[in-house]
C-alpha cells in the first residue's frame, strides 16, 4: 500500500469508529437545502453529533512555513468540538484545489466513512497576511453540495482567530447562530503575588496580563463592545471602579471613586450604563452609572446589603443579591428599582448571572461549599448544575449556551466550562493554572 | 489523485446556494486613533502603577466621582466629605483591639462591645489620632458579597464608637472583604479570626 492509501485507510478506520460510536447505520439521502436541516436530519437518525471532516487546508498561494495548513483545521476542529454539536476529524491530507473529479472522490470517501459534513480551506499566505476561503459541504447529499463559502483575512500572527472565525461560521450555518470561538475570557490570577487581571482567548491561548498595580483587582466584566473591562481595584487604597482598554493605547479610566465601596460592575446591554454597588449613602446599595457623564442613579433603598446586579438582555430588569430577608437571596427589580420580587427562597445565594438569551439566571448557592444553580426568571424550574468541589463565579458565553466558572474540583481554583444544562463540564483546555472570577467577552468585532 | 499546489481555484459545481458574501472581519483596534473615544476625563486617570504614588486630582469625594465626561454635574446634593487619607498612612496600635463577628452577621456581640468600649476610651484620650476601621470577612461566601459584608462590619464598629462619644469625622472605614485574611486554614478557628474589624490610627 502507498503512504497515501495507508492514510486514507487510517482515516476511514477513525471515521468508522465514530460511526460505530454514534450508532449510525448509513447517512440518509438528503432532501433539504439548508445546513440547519442537515443537522436535523443527522440528529433524526439517532446520532448526537454532526460528523465533520476537516482535512488539512489546501495551500493555493505563498509559502506555509508554519504548517498552518495543519494548525488551522486543528484549532477550528477544537472549536467545533467545544460547541457540543460536532464530532470533527482533522489531520487528513489536503484536498485538491482545482480537480473537481478528485475532490468529489475525496468527499465520497469521507461520506462513505460516515461524515455528514466536510470543510475545505483554501489558504494563501500573502506576506504577513493570511487569506482563507472556507467551503462547507453537505456530505449527506448525493453531489456533496456546497452549503456555502466565505473568505477571511487575518495577520499571520493571529492565525488562531482565523480558525475561530471559520468555526463560528460553520456553527452559524448549522444552528442559525454563530459560535463563540472568537471570544476572550478575562480573569483574576494571583501568581504574581497580588490579584491582577488577565485576558486570554476563550480556549486558553495567549494569556495576557492587564494590570500590574500590586494591589487587589477584582470582578472584571467586559463591556458589550468588547473594547473595555470594568473592574474593582484597591490600587489607590480604597475600592474604586475602573475601566481598562486592553486593545487600545488608552489610559485607565476611573468610573466611580465615591467614599466606601465602588464594586460589582455590570454593563447594561447597550453599554451605556454600568450597574454597581456603592455604599456612599450609608450601606451597600445598587446604583446605575451613566458611563458618558458619570451621573449615578440610586435603585435600592433597603438598609441591608444590596449588591451584585445583573441585567436582563432586554435591559429592562436587574437581578441582584439582597440580605433584606435574612440570608442573601436573589431578587429581581425593574431597571428603575421598582417592582422588587424575590427569586430564591432557601439557602445562601449570590452571584446571579442573567443569560444573554434571557431564559435563565445562573447563581451560586452555598450549602457547605458553593455550587452553581439555575432558575427561570419567573422563579420556576430551580435546578442544580454542579456538585463536587467548590464551584462559583459563572459567566455566560454570548450564545447563552456555554458558561465558564471557577472550580476547585481539581485543586486550587481553575476555570471550567459547561453547557447551560450543566452537561459537558470540562476544564479549559489550556488553563492558566489558578484563575478566578472569569468574564466571557461578547464576540469580537 | 494528485494534489497540485498553487493551482488556480477551481470553480466547483455549486448546485444550490452560495449563501455568503465575501467579507473581511474587523480586528479590534490596536491603536488609539481608531477608537472613537467619548470625551476624555478632566481629572487625569492614574496610570496603572504600583499603589504608592498618591492620587493627584482623582479625589474620592462624594458625590461627584472623578469620572469620564466633560461636565459631570453632582447628581445628589449631599455635602462632600474631606478626602480620606490613604490606608497605607495608618498604623495599628496595641491599645486598639480587633472585634469579631458571627458568620454572615455584622451586629456587635456583647463581648466585642466591651472591646469597643475600651477602644473608645483610648480614642477619646487621644483626640489627635485619626481612625481607620477595616472590615473583613472569612473566605466563605463570594468575593463581592464579602466586600459588602466587610463594609457593614466596619460601619457597625464605627457606629458603636460614635455612640460612645468618638467624633465621627475622625473615622474612615474600608472593607477588604475576604481579600486580606490573617490565616488561610479551612477551619472555624481560622474563619472566626478573619471575621473581624481592625483598627488603625494616624496623626492628624
Instruction: Please check whether residue B24 lies inside any domain of the structure.
Output: no
| Model ipTM value | 0.86
Average pLDDT of span A230-243: 98
Plot region of A310 (φ>0 → left; ψ -120 to 50 → alpha; else → beta): beta
Return all residues near A191 (Cβ < 8 A) that are at least 6 apart.
Answer: A433, A434
By DSSP bridging, strand A391-396 and strand A402-407 are antiparallel
Return all residues near A212 (Cβ < 8 A) that are at least 6 apart.
Answer: A192, A196, B48, B50
Instruction: Please check whether residue B186 lies inside any domain of the structure.
Output: yes
pLDDT above 90 (res A429): no
Average pLDDT, chain A: 92
pLDDT at B19: 42
Confidence class of residue A299 from pLDDT cuts 50, 70 and 90? very high
Instruction: Please check whether residue B120 lies inside any domain of the structure.
Output: yes
pLDDT at A411: 87
Domain count, chain B: 1
- Chain B's closest residue to A390, CA to CA, is B140
- Tell me the three cell numbers of residue A224: 458589550
Tens of pLDDT along A123-148?
Answer: 999 999 999 999 999 999 989 999 99
Instruction: Please check whether residue B175 lies inside any domain of the structure.
Output: yes
Average pLDDT of span B114-127: 98
E-assigned strand segments in A91-195: 117-126, 129-138, 146-155, 184-189
CATH of region A184-440, choose from 3.30.70.60, 3.40.50.2300, 2.120.10.30, 3.30.200.20? 2.120.10.30
Tens of pLDDT along A307-318?
Answer: 999 999 999 999
Instruction: Please check whether residue B79 lies inside any domain of the structure.
Output: no
Does the distance separating the beta carbons of A158 and B27 come in below 8 Å?
Answer: yes
Give bridge partners of residue A42 from the DSSP assignment.
none
CB B58 within 8 A of CB B44: yes
Confidence class of residue A10 from pLDDT cuts 50, 70 and 90? low
B42 touches chain A (CB under 8 A): no
* A281 CB-contact burial (10 Å; exposed 0-12 / middle 13-18 / buried 19+): middle
CB A331 within 8 A of CB A352: no
Tens of pLDDT along A82-118?
Answer: 999 999 999 999 999 899 999 999 999 999 999 999 9
Specify whether domain A3-175 bears CATH 3.30.70.20.
Answer: no
Return the SS3 of B130: strand
Give the Cα separation of A23 and A33 in Å (integer).
25
CA A56 to chain centroid, in Å, comes to 26
Among the partner residues A59, A348, A364, nearest to B5 by beta-carbon distance: A59
pLDDT at A375: 98
Best of B61, B147, B178 to disrupt the A interface (most A CBs within 10 Å) is B147
Confidence class of residue A46 from pLDDT cuts 50, 70 and 90? confident
Percent over 90 (pLDDT), chain A: 86
B9: distance to nearest CA of chain A, Å? 5
For chains A and B, CB pairs below 8 A equal 296
Residues B104, A383, A423: CA angle, nearest 5 degrees = 115
For residue B175, give the CATH number of its domain: 3.30.1330.60
Best of B6, B7, B11, B12 to disrupt the A interface (most A CBs within 10 Å) is B12
**Containing domain of residue B169, as a range?**
104-203
A3-22 and A100-112 helices, crossing angle to 10°: 40
Return all residues near A273 (Cβ < 8 A) that are at least 6 apart.
Answer: A267, A288, A289, A290, A291
B141 contacts on A by Cβ (under 8 Å): 328, 348, 350, 366
Instruction: Please check whether residue B39 lies inside any domain of the structure.
Output: no
The CA-atom distances, in angstroms, between B106 and each of A62, A325, B135 are 68, 15, 10
**Grid cell 477513525 in the structure block, residue:** A14
Among the partner residues B17, B29, B142, nearest to A351 by beta-carbon distance: B142
Average pLDDT of span B9-22: 43
A21: distance to nearest CA of chain B, Å? 30
CB A257 within 8 A of CB A222: no
Phi, psi angles (nearest 5°) of residue A375: -150, 150
Does the distance separating the beta carbons of B104 and A294 come in below 8 Å?
Answer: no
B189 touches chain A (CB under 8 A): no
B102: distance to nearest CA of chain A, Å? 13
- Chain A's closest residue to B173, CA to CA, is A260
Give the Cα separation of A169 and A164 in Å (integer).
9
Amino acid at each position: 500500500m502507498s503512504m497515501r492509501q495507508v492514510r486514507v485507510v487510517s482515516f476511514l478506520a477513525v471515521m468508522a469508529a465514530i460511526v460505530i460510536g454514534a450508532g449510525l447505520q448509513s447517512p440518509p439521502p438528503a432532501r433539504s437545502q439548508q445546513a440547519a436541516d442537515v443537522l436535523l436530519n443527522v440528529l433524526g437518525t439517532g446520532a448526537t453529533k454532526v460528523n465533520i471532516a476537516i482535512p488539512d487546508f489546501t495551500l493555493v498561494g505563498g509559502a506555509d512555513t508554519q504548517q498552518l495548513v495543519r494548525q488551522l483545521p486543528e484549532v477550528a476542529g477544537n472549536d467545533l468540538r467545544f460547541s457540543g454539536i460536532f464530532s470533527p476529524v482533522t489531520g487528513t491530507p489536503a484536498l485538491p484545489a482545482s480537480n473537481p473529479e478528485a475532490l468529489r472522490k475525496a468527499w465520497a470517501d469521507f461520506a462513505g466513512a460516515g461524515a455528514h459534513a466536510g470543510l475545505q480551506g483554501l489558504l494563501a499566505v500573502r506576506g504577513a497576511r493570511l487569506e482563507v476561503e472556507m467551503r462547507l459541504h453537505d456530505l449527506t447529499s448525493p453531489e456533496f453540495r456546497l452549503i456555502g463559502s466565505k473568505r477571511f483575512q487575518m495577520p499571520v500572527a493571529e492565525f488562531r482567530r482565523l480558525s475561530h472565525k471559520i468555526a463560528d461560521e460553520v456553527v452559524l450555518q448549522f444552528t442559525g447562530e454563530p459560535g463563540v470561538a472568537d471570544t476572550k475570557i478575562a480573569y483574576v490570577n494571583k501568581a504574581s503575588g497580588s490579584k491582577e487581571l488577565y485576558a486570554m482567548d476563550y480556549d486558553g491561548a495567549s494569556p495576557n496580563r492587564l494590570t500590574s498595580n500590586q494591589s487587589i483587582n477584582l470582578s472584571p466584566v467586559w463591556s458589550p463592545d468588547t473594547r473595555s473591562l470594568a473592574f474593582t481595584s484597591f490600587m489607590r487604597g480604597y475600592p474604586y471602579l475602573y475601566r481598562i482598554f486592553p486593545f487600545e493605547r488608552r489610559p485607565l479610566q476611573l468610573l466611580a471613586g465615591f467614599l466606601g465601596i465602588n464594586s460589582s460592575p455590570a454593563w447594561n446591554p447597550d453599554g451605556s450604563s454600568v450597574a454597581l454597588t456603592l455604599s456612599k449613602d450609608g450601606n451597600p446599595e445598587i446604583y446605575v452609572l451613566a458611563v458618558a457623564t458619570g451621573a449615578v442613579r440610586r435603585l435600592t433603598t433597603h438598609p441591608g446589603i444590596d449588591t451584585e446586579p445583573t441585567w436582563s438582555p432586554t435591559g429592562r430588569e436587574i437581578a441582584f443579591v439582597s440580605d433584606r430577608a435574612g440570608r442573601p437571596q436573589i431578587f429581581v427589580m425593574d431597571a428603575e428599582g421598582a417592582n422588587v420580587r424575590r427569586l430564591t427562597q432557601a439557602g445562601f445565594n449570590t452571584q446571579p448571572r442573567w443569560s444573554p438569551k434571557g431564559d435563565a439566571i445562573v447563581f451560586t448557592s452555598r450549602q457547605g461549599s458553593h455550587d452553581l444553580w439555575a432558575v427561570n426568571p419567573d422563579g420556576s424550574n430551580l435546578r442544580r448544575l454542579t456538585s463536587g468541589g467548590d464551584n462559583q463565579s459563572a459567566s455566560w458565553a454570548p450564545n447563552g449556551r456555554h458558561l465558564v466558572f471557577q472550580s476547585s474540583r481539581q485543586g486550587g481554583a481553575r476555570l471550567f466550562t459547561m453547557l447551560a444544562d450543566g452537561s459537558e463540564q470540562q476544564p479549559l483546555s489550556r488553563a492558566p493554572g489558578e484563575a478566578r472570577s472569569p468574564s466571557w467577552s461578547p464576540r469580537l468585532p | 489523485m494528485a494534489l497540485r499546489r498553487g493551482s488556480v481555484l477551481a470553480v466547483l459545481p455549486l448546485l444550490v446556494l452560495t449563501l455568503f458574501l465575501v467579507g473581511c472581519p474587523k480586528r479590534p483596534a490596536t491603536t488609539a486613533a481608531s477608537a472613537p473615544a467619548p470625551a476624555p476625563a478632566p481629572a487625569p486617570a492614574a496610570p496603572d502603577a504600583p499603589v504608592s504614588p498618591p492620587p493627584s486630582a482623582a479625589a474620592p469625594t462624594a458625590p461627584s466621582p472623578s469620572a469620564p465626561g466633560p461636565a459631570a454635574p453632582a447628581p445628589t446634593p449631599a455635602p462632600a466629605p474631606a478626602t480620606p487619607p490613604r490606608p497605607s498612612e495608618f498604623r495599628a496600635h496595641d491599645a486598639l483591639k480587633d472585634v469579631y463577628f458571627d458568620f454572615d452577621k455584622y451586629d456587635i456581640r456583647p463581648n466585642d462591645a466591651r472591646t469597643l468600649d475600651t477602644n473608645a476610651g483610648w480614642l477619646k484620650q487621644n483626640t489627635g489620632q485619626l481612625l481607620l476601621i477595616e472590615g473583613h470577612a472569612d473566605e466563605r461566601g463570594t468575593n463581592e458579597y464579602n466586600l459588602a459584608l466587610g463594609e457593614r462590619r466596619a460601619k457597625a464598629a464605627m457606629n458603636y464608637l460614635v455612640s460612645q462619644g468618638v467624633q465621627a469625622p475622625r473615622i474612615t472605614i474600608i472593607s477588604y472583604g475576604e481579600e486580606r485574611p490573617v490565616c488561610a486554614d479551612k477551619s472555624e478557628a481560622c474563619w472566626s479570626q478573619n471575621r473581624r474589624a481592625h483598627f488603625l490610627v494616624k496623626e492628624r
